[in-house]
Structure 1
Amino acid sequence: MKPGRSIRFRLLLGAALVLVAFLAGVGVALQRAHADSSRTDRLARLQGTVYLLLAAAEVDGQGRLVMPPSLPEPRLALPGSGLYASVAVRGQAQGWHSESTVGQQLPFPPTAEVGRWDYADASGNGRRYLSVAYSVLYEARSQPVPLVLSVLEDAAALEREVAVFERTLWAWLAGAGLFLLLSQTLLLEWALDPLRRVTREIRRIEDGEQEEITGRYPAEIAALTDNLNTLVRQERERQSRYREALSYLAHSLKTPLAVLRTALGQPATLGTAVEEQVQRMDAIVQHQLGRGAASGATRFAPAIALAPIAQRVRESLEKVHAARNLRFAIDCPPNLRWRIDEGDAFEVFGNLLDNAAKWARSRITARVRRDGSRLLVRVEDDGPGFGDDPQAMLQMHVRGDETVPGHGVGLAIVRDIVASHHGQIALSRSALGGAQVDIALPQP
């Protein structure tokens, strides 16, 4: 399977896109805020110039406008200074223009609503202007005189100011973006270094250079490395069981085969020898196959309900021993679940209950419960029990009574499965008077 994009590439690309979008949004917002603020500031200054005109304007007895020869604003007296003023009398041709308007064709607003400020962008002669106008009724002796006071300012200065700010702003944002991207790259390299070290250790494990992951890693990765080590150990244990089972199988079959070879030269005992040795080889094969197939403790096996498995085994044994009227009592909570391979669970319950059913007189009980982080299983019967040496019954081919059908491998298989789960098994006399088998399995 072709690998996808690396985590490093994805993080860097995601961080770059988010950073660019963020800086672009910040830049546009600051740019607009500065442009609006600069425009508002200049309009406020033009409004102050209008107040200056309003304070200087006079109307004589004949209703004619009278303006002083000079104003406190020096730019109004300098031709082409960029600041222009006009005071017009509505409905009359007469009016006043500042000396800065000499030789200029300017777009002064012709009228304005009395008592309302008029802010606008005007254009003329290929230039743009900021315009502020205000209209008042001047109380003269004869009658009120409507005056329109207007101020224009060349917008080029505002545009230069905004352009300088934009260049400075975007230059700094670009520098900040590059710095943040470089910092993000270095941080990602540092943060992803544990993953690279884990990858190198896994390669060394694959090449046989080390047994498991041994490095110290951050808490977020330590759980992963622990699980990987668990998987490695479980796989090695499984392979070891396979090798041991094959080795034991080959070794154990040598003796029965040798007996059969010898029996070939003795026709009188050949039939009996063949039957005995075939049964022995069948028991050996069953034991070693069960031992090799045991899944063992696995942290990642799904938790399965144990009550249905025990009930299915009981139902099967009730049919097999129907003629004996055996009573099976299974005490297992229906909600009890445990991480164990289903095949291992069937082997344990099947062999324990089958062994108890073979020896029981009338009653078999099984109790399954959870005690903290352990699973406890107890199977009892009211048969003759294990005798003076119960632990010997865990050995292969050891049987309590040769007249009872069986190969003496059931408890040995259970012992191997329990061992593969790092558990414990104990044989003793039960309160029912017969045999008692106790199993304790730790949580995987």
Structure 2
Amino acid sequence: MKAPASIRARLALAAAAVLALFLAVAGFVLQRAHADSVVAAHHGRLQATVYLLLGAAEVDAAGQLQMPAALAEPRLSQPGSGLYAAIRTPGGQLLWRSASAPPGLPFPGVEAVGQWALGEEEGGGRRFLSASYEVNWLAAGDRTVPLVLSVLEDESALGRELAAFERTLWGGLAAAALLLLLSQALLVRWSLAPLERVAAEIGRIDAGEQARVEGQYPPEIEQLTQRLNALVERERARQKRWREAVSFLAHSLKTPLAVLRATQDDPAQLREAVVREVARMDDIVQHQLARAAAATEAATAPPLALRAVAERIAASLRKVHAERGLVLEIEADAKLAWPLQEGDAFEILGNLMDNACKWARQRVRTTLQREAGGLRIRVEDDGPGFSDTEAVRRLHVRGDERVPGHGVGLAVVDELVGAQGGTLSLGRGALGGARVDVLLPG
């Protein structure tokens, strides 16, 4: 599979394509506008030459056209000068031709008296700009003589002028394009420099030369570096938690194993010790696995509908404690969703609600609500409450040895909440018994 082009290459190609298209369109428009302007200027000069002919022409009493031997425009007297003039009748009869004009030139006619005919003509393998004008000349005796005055100019001079402009125009545009592309390359290099610095810092983090991204970056990249730092810190916390879990397991399992070894020669005690110590080891393993898995950040989890989770747990607990007739209340918006792993949600709510059911006399109330600081989970019961709020947080410590359990649930919840940056607090609730508050940050 072909690797995608780099951002720098994409920007360079996009800029080159847009610039080429823009300069091509701009060059074509400028070239066309200049050509139209030059042609209009040449036609203007031809019209001025026609007025020159009108000023020099005379018609005698016999109706004959009289022209001076020399005109104010010297090119009309120079053969092959490129400027040619003629005066004809509307029927095409030649009355006068400038000394510069060879025979057979394509002098145009006009359609009506007093109207200009401006255009281009072709003849003898050459092209000409043309201007013609028809007048009714009033001669002696109120005699009217119709005349058509025409001027031609060879387009070779016009072509040279246009070609010179085109060379200058496209040369200038090419130089401007080169300069703009060079500027674009420098701007792209300068703009992408922060990303290159970030990549270099990540490389140093990977090599163990630094602990986090430390540089100052533009706001658009600052969010990226903050999330990278958070990711690095989460990964380090996860690794630390797994190492601690393994170390704790190795240390905690020594005592149960020592008890089993001590009773292996006494069959009567061995059976009881195996049941007791295996249950204890199972609790230890479950706690440490939950503690290690608590490194999963809520920020990476999809939003989870929490009321549905609480309802499922409550339904299960009603069956478990059916003989006691407990009332389990859920106060939460059905649309409330929070970025929390489903397993963590069941672990937190399940342990808190199960503990409350064990201690409750009749009622357990679970409240889920958003607050300014994040999500609050509150579980209350109408039981006796906590006698020692600090001790019950620790592993294998129970509020009352007469109540079934292993003293693991609240410790696991405390670890899970702490791993996600939250807080767990214990106290007396509105129902008169224990209250457990969990606040998960937004």
Calculate the TM-score normalised by the size of structure 1. Answer: 0.95
Where does 1:80-95 land on structure 2 (aligned, <5 Å)? Answer: 80-91=80-91, 93-95=93-95
How far residue 348 of structure 1 moved from its aligned partner, in angstroms, is: 0.6
2:219 partner letter: A
Equivalence for 2:419: 420
Note if contact 2:241-2:295 (Cα within 8 Å) is conserved in structure 1: no
| Aligned residue in 1 for 2:114 | 115
Q: Distance in 2 between matches of 1:113 and 1:271?
A: 130
Instruction: Give the 3 Å change call, closer, same or farther, for CA 287–94 of structure 1 in structure 2.
Output: closer
User: Counterparts of 1:112 and 1:51 in 2: how far apart (Å)?
Assistant: 19
**Residue 335 of structure 1 pairs with residue 331 of structure 2:** no
The change in CA–CA distance for 1:2 and 1:316 in structure 2 (over 3 A counts) is farther
- CA-to-partner distance for each residue in 1:106-160, whole Å, 9 max, x for gaps? 2212564333211221223332211111112223336432211100111111111
Contact kept? 1:112, 1:134, Cα under 8 Å: no
Q: Higher mean Cα deviation, 51-60 or 79-88?
A: 51-60
CA deviation digits over 1:62-118, x for unaligned, max 9? Answer: 2222223332222212222211110112347450111212x4542212564333211
> Partner letter of residue 126 of structure 2?
R
Query: Is this contact kept in 2: 1:62–1:142, CA < 8 A?
Result: no
Which whole-Å CA distance do the structure 2 matches of 1:353 and 1:15 have between them?
62
Residue in 2 that maps onto 1:4: 4
Give the C-alpha shift of residue 232 in structure 1.
1.3
CA distance in 2, matches of 1:394, 1:54: 116
SS at match of 2:79: coil
Tell me the residue number matched to 1:42: 42
**Pairing of 1:286-365 with structure 2 (within 5 A):** 286-365=286-365
Give the match for residue 284 of structure 1: 284
Name the SS for the 2:299 alignment partner: coil
Alignment of 1:11-410 (within 5 A): 11-91=11-91, 93-101=93-101, 103-109=102-108, 112-140=111-139, 141=141, 143-387=143-387, 389-410=388-409
Q: Aligned AA for 1:77?
A: S
- Please, which runs of 5 or more residues in structure 1 have no aligned partner? none
In the alignment, the residues of structure 2 paired with residue 338 and residue 164 of structure 1 have an alpha-carbon distance, to the nearest angstrom, of 72
Aligned length, in residue pairs: 441
**Distance of 2:94 and 2:3 partners within structure 1:** 84
> 1-side partners of 2:272 and 2:301: how far apart?
46
Query: For each residue in 1:23-60, what CA deviation from the matched residue of structure 2 results, as whole angstroms up to 9, or x when unmatched?
Result: 11111111111111000000011011112212322222
1:118/1:132 contact within 8 Å kept: yes
Provide closer, same or farther for how the CA distance between residues 78 and 409 of structure 1 changes in structure 2, counting only shifts above 3 A.
Answer: same
Q: RMSD value over aligned CA atoms?
A: 1.7
For residues 92 and 86 of structure 2, the distance between their equivalents in structure 1, rounded to whole angstroms, comes to 14
Distance 1:227 1:76 in 2: 84
List per-residue Cα deviations over 1:186-238 (Å, max 9, x = no partner). 11111111111111111222222221111111111111111111111112212
What's the secondary structure of 2:390's corresponding residue?
A: helix
One-letter identity of the residue aligned with 2:164: V
Equivalent pair of 1:120/1:130 in contact (CA under 8 Å): yes
> For 2:265 and 2:289, how far apart are their aligned partners in 1?
32
Aligned partner of residue 376 in structure 1, secondary structure = strand
Deviation of 1:2 (Å): 5.5
Cα distance between partner residues in 1 of 2:110 and 2:330: 104
Between the aligned partners of 1:258 and 1:275, the Cα distance in structure 2 is: 14
Summarize the Cα distance change of 1:331–1:55 in structure 2 as closer, same or farther, 3 Å threshold: same
Deviation per CA, 1:396-434, whole angstroms, max 9, x where unpaired?
A: 000122232211100000010011011111112223222
Query: Partners of 1:286 and 1:110 in 2: how far apart?
Result: 108
> Secondary structure of the equivalent of 2:253?
helix
Conservation of the 8 A alpha-carbon contact between 2:294 and 2:420: no
Is the CA contact (8 Å cut-off) linking 2:109 and 2:117 kept in structure 1? no
User: 1:115, 1:134 within 8 Å by CA — same for their partners in 2?
Assistant: yes
Whichever residue aligns with residue 120 of structure 2, its letter is D
> Distance in 2 between the 1:7 and 1:298 partners?
32
How far apart are residue 304 of structure 1 and its match? 1.9
C-alpha contact 2:298 2:340 (8 A) present in aligned 1: yes
Partners of 2:191 and 2:324 lie apart in 1 by: 69
SS of the residue 1:79 aligns to? coil
Cα distance in 2 for residues equivalent to 1:337 and 1:244: 32
Contact 2:85/2:98 (<8 A) preserved: yes
Q: In 1, distance between residues paired with 2:104 and 2:79?
A: 12
Secondary structure of the residue aligned to 2:17 is: helix
Query: CA-to-partner distance for each residue in 1:162-194, whole Å, 9 max, x for gaps?
Result: 111111111111111111111111111111111
CA distance in 2, matches of 1:182, 1:400: 75
